[in-house]
Each structure stands twice: as structure tokens, then as C-alpha cells.
Amino acid sequence: MDMLWSGWGDPAKAAPLPETVIGLLRDLLGVKPRTAGPVALEDIAVPQPGLEPAARQALSAAVGGEEHVRTDAGTRIRHTRGKSTPDLLRIRDGEVDDVPAAVVLPAGHDDVLAVLRACAEHGLAVVPFGGGTSVVGGLAPSRRGAFVALDLRRMDALLAVDPVSRTATLQPGLRGPQA
């Protein structure tokens, strides 16, 4: 499941803020409601991926097939930023100047290593993407140029449970509700 591209949570469960909350935000914090909603996802102009064919082939080989290297506009937009207020305001306005060239979905540790080798070989930066909930700018590349988002959702297993300490070891793509 992809999170809501312009906000938090499951898109199927998105709901507007109750009027009482809007009133509190307006009266206590001075927040002015927007007059228009976010730009429609399909109306956002996304630049071409800019991924060399050799790089795409290397990434596909690293993750077991072309279906795990995504370059469609919707997927790339959903991996452009995190969920901080500035991130959400920029994405809702359709600003995607730092969209990844591709979103790569490894299935395990060896795939991640192979992706990192392929990216190093082709001069691509890598931005890790766990659940996409970062609120600290961790999904923005630190340099300009083509980069890939390393989406860890396929790495979603429970690896170990220690009943004595009551701890669990989870792969990075396992979200809290599923855990």
C-alpha cells in the first residue's frame, strides 16, 4: 500500500479535518485554510527519468527484474519527499524538481548491495526510502543529478523474536500496523 501522495496515511481512509479542528487551528494558531486543494496527481509535470539504459539494466539485474525498477510518474512523485509540513506543501503545489529517476525495490540484503554497486558504477546517488514518513528531510538528495529511491517495502519480514527481552528484529520495510 502506498501512502497518500499529498498527506499521511492510507488514501482509502483519507478524511477532511472536522470543522472543530479547523476552528482551533484558525483561532489558536492563526492558520488560514487553503482556498484550493492540492494539484491533482495526474496534473503534475514530471521530468523524464533521465536514467541511462545501461544503468536501468544494471538496476533491474540487481533486484531480480524490470518490475522492481519503477519509473512511472506516480511512483516517482510518491518517493519525492517525506511528510514534513514543508515537504507536503511543496508536493501539494506540484513542485517535483527533486523527483528520483527511478524507484528500486530490493527483496533483501544481497539485492541492496547489488543496487549500491550498480549505482556506484553508474554515478547515481541513492536515497533510502522506508515508509516515506520522514519529517526531517531525509528523503531529499544531498546533491543534484540523477538519483534513485531505494524503497525497502519488499523487505518486510519478521526476522526474530526474543521472548525473554520481548524484542523483535524486523526488516526495514515492515510497517508498524503489519508488525
The per-residue pLDDT for range 25-59, each reduced to its tens digit, is 788 878 777 777 778 888 999 998 889 999 999 99
Paired residues of 103 in beta bridges: 70, 149
- Report the CATH number at residue 66: 3.30.43.10
Residue 7 maps to a domain:
no
Encode pLDDT of 147-171 as tens digits.
Answer: 999 999 999 999 999 999 999 999 9
Cα–Cα nearest to 39, from 71, 73, 12: 73
Task: State the residue range of the domain holding 63.
Answer: 39-170
Residue 12 maps to a domain:
no
Residue 125 maps to a domain:
yes
Residue 30 maps to a domain:
no
Provide the number of structural domains found in the chain. 1
The beta strand positions in the chain, using DSSP E, are 69-70, 102-104, 125-129, 147-151, 158-162, 167-170
Residue 24 maps to a domain:
no
Q: Can you tell me the mean pLDDT for 123-137? A: 84
Residue 26 maps to a domain:
no
